[in-house]
Amino acid sequence: MKRSWLYPAILTGILLYSANVSAQVVVVANLGEKNTSMEKTEIRNLFMGGIGGRLDPVTLSPGVRERHMFNTLIVGLTESRIQSYWAQMRFSGRNQEPVEVESVEAMLRYLLENEGSVGYLPADFPVPRSLTVLYSTG
Residues engaged in binding another protein (CB under 8 A): 39, 41-42, 44-45, 48, 50-53, 61-63, 72, 76-81, 83-85, 87-88, 90-94
Nearer to another protein, 18 or 83 (CB): 83
Give min distance, CB of 41 to another protein, in A.
4
Rounded CA separation 30/9 (Å): 15
Please, which residues bridge with residue 118 across strands?
29, 57
Judged by DSSP in three states, 29 sits in strand
Helix runs in the chain, H state only: 6-18, 40-47, 65-70, 79-91, 104-113
Q: How many other CB atoms are there within 10 angstroms of residue 131's CB atom?
A: 21
Give min distance, CB of 20 to another protein, in A.
26
Nearer to another protein, 38 or 131 (CB): 38
Give min distance, CB of 69 to another protein, in A.
12
Nearer to another protein, 72 or 114 (CB): 72
